Homo-oligomer: A and B are copies of this chain.
């Protein structure tokens, strides 16, 4: 049975860009599971699978529908225990929640401030209206005001990644010698930045860039295939 992954796209369905969806793409490849990705426009999400979820990613696996990237990873770990582990034990599951906290509370903030206008530009017109309204309400600023801080956000990115750089002084992946879901969590954030803005805005010899390249190399370069 092929799993269906509902993800997110703009006007071009061939360029899914959501950080949370990329986590699941990588997790499905990690488990070696066959899946079909169906990227949705923002405004198509509420009418898909009878409005099962307001957000993507969600997956259909036979009769099961599961939403939320972390819950999907836990579901895959539980239901496909014979495939390579996504967490490396219970300590890894628990610590991955902390990595999620770091990624969403620190990295996503900086990426948003860099990429917001680029994301808006990628969307179909209907989605642009939804996106502008929802994001401006959430941020309390116009997209143009956020865009004015873009250079400052790019300048702030290296410092935000310092915890990752420290870890990379000891090991090649957050997962240790090989990647785990914790890697895909942070990879998702930088892949989101790369697809929406064309760059991760870091020097090529930054340890974080080299780690990101190693992630792009995984699973026959699935991450590299979308640019």
Binding site for B on A (CB under 8 A): 85, 87-102, 104-106, 162-167, 170-171, 173-176, 180, 182
Contacts and interface: CB of A to CB of B under 8 A. Distances in A.
Nearest to A175: B94
Contact of A166 (B100, B175, B176): B100
How many copies of this chain does one complex carry?
2
A105 B173 contact: no
Interface of A is mostly: helix
Q: What 4 A-B pairs are tightest by C-beta distance, nearest first? A: A89-B89, A88-B91, A91-B92, A101-B166
B102 A163 contact: yes
A95 B105 contact: no
A101 B104 CA distance: 16
B101 A165 contact: yes
B93 A176 contact: yes
Contacts of A171: 94, 97
B101 A162 contact: yes
B173 A106 contact: no
Contact of A167 (B98, B106, B165): B98
A105 B21 CA distance: 29
A100 B167 contact: yes
B101 A91 contact: no
B94 A163 contact: no
Given A98-B99, A98-B164, 6 more contacts: A87-B91, A88-B89, A98-B102, A100-B166, A100-B167, A105-B162
A8 B221 CA distance: 49
Given A105-B162, A105-B163, A94 B88 contact: yes
Contact of A173 (B85, B89, B94): B94
A176 B101 contact: no
B176 A94 contact: yes
A24 to B, nearest CB: 18
A162 B87 CA distance: 23
Given A97-B170, A99-B98, A166-B100, A90 B90 contact: no
